[in-house]
Structure 1
Amino acid sequence: MMEDAAAPERIDGTVVSRDGTTIGYSRFGAGTPLVVCHGAFNAAADWVRFARALRGSHSVLLYDRRGRGRSEAGRGPYSLAAEMDDLAAVVALAGDGAAVLGHSFGGGCALMYALRDGFRGRLVLYEAMSALPQPLGGAHLPALRALVAAGDHDAATAFALEHIVRTPPEKLALLRQTPLWPGMVALTPGFVQEAAALDTIAPTAAELAALRARPWLLLGERSEQDPSMRCTAALVERLRGATLYPIPGQGHAAHLFNPALLARIVARCLVED
């Protein structure tokens, strides 16, 4: 279905999750729905150019994961189960035939949601992070918590990227000089909780064998971060029937650096048999 020229480019709204938390979202375009579950150092706004590139053929729903953008943090303790409930609420809103795209930590959330709820649609995992190869936060979490508690969010962000995300030192130095850095620093306090939850994303072989969704795995050609490659490799080994696509010339953030290319690859996942 092609986009109606008279339809608004963007519709903003909210949906209420299972625990009463209000989740903000934006819908772009018309057609087969795609729900995007963003990563740890992102928010829905970072995916707008991707949504605009895809809106001619699909209805793209971008939502802020809890505690970010227009979404409430929730009244109770943070939990991966609550993240899955939020995604479930947006998928239900999206309607019949919805597909899910999960990126980085959001990819881990999307995978666990699909397993828990028996999701039967198309599941596109762009460098989904998990503890399948090994725990990522582990022994580094106390030091990260201490930096955040001390209010040194800049140092906490650098520590998280170096020790948990495993960003090479030269890339970390460059990243600190980009306009992306202040936004990442602002999101770091929430990353402490997500890093702990990430270490629990380790579905068993039996659980993965029971996945009802049709999975696609996306891996940036330039993704040199060890966790990205190892987590994707772990899924390639364990997810039967998964299709792996490289993203030429890109790394872990194609949605920022080449959203049109990423949209073309995702569109292929959404239509091929």
Structure 2
Amino acid sequence: MDEVNTTLSRSRGHVMSPDGTRIAYERYGDGPPLVLVSGALCTAEDEQPLGGLLAARHTVVAYDRRGRGRSGDAPAYAVQREIEDLAALVEEFGGQVAVHGTSSGAALALAAAAAGAPMTRLSVFEPPYSADPESRTAEAAHTARLTELLDQGLREAALELFLSEAMPAQALAGLRGSPAWAALLEVAPTLAYDCAVLGDGQVPTVLLAGVRTRVLVIDGGASPLWMREGAVAVAASLPRGRHRTLTGQTHMVAPHVLAPVLADFLAED
């Protein structure tokens, strides 16, 4: 049964994934359902700024991926379980929904679409794939080191390793001293899940060829070149893919810039 949070005008509920894992979600707004799939270290709570802007036209469903927030987890991880989690949410909200994924959540959404999860539309923001084959060795080393640290229970070291590639040292030091650090440590073990979703980090052209829904691939004009090139390659690999760049945006895209682009795409005939 859903519990209603009147302060935030949203409802909470959960679905049971086929392996018995409880997947918690938040729902707000009114209209055709739109499921938001978050990236590394994020929870349903982090999707509220974007979801709130889309709630006038859509029933927005933001969920905690397994191992995060109010969702459960299982002893053994497999990407297929996360695909099943998303498919269970799609079924819960009528069998056909629109989906938007961010970063590694974009990669997961694409994998779910390729596996046959029925989506009316799919939009993704900067799935972190590389179009450069020479990056494969560095990606493998990064994944191995991150996994090693997590297996040893060294969450803080793993978190620092991951974030050091995404932000300057000064910003990372500031984050470590903030209240947000403890929350990030809680979900740090799921970084291994994101690594599994991304595989070798290369654009998965064979998988993408199996996506039959219409897909909008978005990147930020101020994001690193490798990420922008990856987004272009992802769009080109999709049978019904389209690419768009948001001028001046980075991987931390501004919700008020992204939301109208998504709304227009979802409203197309």
CA contact (8 A) 1:107 1:127 kept: yes
User: Once the two structures are superposed, what CA deviation does each residue of 1:108-156 show, in whole Å capped at 9, x if it has no partner?
Assistant: 1110110111534201011113466554741223322333345443332
**Counterpart-to-counterpart distance in 2, 1:78 and 1:241:** 31
**Counterpart-to-counterpart distance in 2, 1:89 and 1:182:** 30
CA contact (8 A) 1:119 1:212 kept: no
Give matches, 1:101-250, under 5 Å: 101-117=100-116, 119-130=118-129, 133-134=132-133, 135=136, 137-162=139-164, 166-167=165-166, 171-178=168-175, 179=178, 180-199=180-199, 205-224=205-224, 226=226, 228-250=227-249
Amino acid at match of 2:157: A
Amino acid at match of 1:44: A
Give matches, 1:257-272, under 5 Å: 258-272=254-268
Give the fraction of aligned pairs with identical amino acids, expressed as a percent.
32
Aligned residue number for residue 91 of structure 1: 90
User: Once the two structures are superposed, what CA deviation does each residue of 1:143-174 show, in whole Å capped at 9, x if it has no partner?
Assistant: 22333345443332221234xxx436xx3432
Q: How far is the alpha carbon of 1:242 from its aligned partner?
A: 1.7
Amino acid at match of 1:138: A
SS where residue 68 of structure 2 aligns?
coil
Q: Is 2:41 the counterpart of 1:56?
A: no
TM-score after normalising by structure 2: 0.84
Which stretch shows the higher mean deviation, 15-24 or 129-138? 129-138
The 3 A distance-change label for structure 1 pair 33 and 66 is same
Ranges in structure 1 where 5+ consecutive residues have no aligned partner: 1-7
The 3 A distance-change label for structure 1 pair 202 and 82 is farther
Q: How far is the alpha carbon of 1:41 from its aligned partner?
A: 1.9
**Counterpart-to-counterpart distance in 1, 2:189 and 2:204:** 30
Amino acid at match of 1:156: A
CA contact (8 A) 1:161 1:172 kept: no
The 3 A distance-change label for structure 1 pair 210 and 152 is closer
The 3 A distance-change label for structure 1 pair 34 and 149 is same
Q: How many residues align?
A: 257
SS where residue 174 of structure 2 aligns?
coil
The 3 A distance-change label for structure 1 pair 225 and 131 is closer
Amino acid at match of 2:144: P
CA contact (8 A) 1:148 1:156 kept: yes
Ranges in structure 2 where 5+ consecutive residues have no aligned partner: 1-7
SS where residue 31 of structure 1 aligns?
coil
The 3 A distance-change label for structure 1 pair 208 and 152 is closer
The 3 A distance-change label for structure 1 pair 97 and 19 is closer
**Counterpart-to-counterpart distance in 2, 1:52 and 1:65:** 19
CA contact (8 A) 1:44 1:62 kept: yes
**Counterpart-to-counterpart distance in 2, 1:241 and 1:265:** 18
RMSD between aligned alpha carbons? Answer: 2.6
The 3 A distance-change label for structure 1 pair 18 and 189 is same
Aligned residue number for residue 3 of structure 2: none
SS where residue 71 of structure 1 aligns?
coil
**Counterpart-to-counterpart distance in 2, 1:181 and 1:224:** 25
User: Once the two structures are superposed, what CA deviation does each residue of 1:83-108 show, in whole Å capped at 9, x if it has no partner?
Assistant: 00000011111225410111111111
Aligned residue number for residue 12 of structure 2: 12
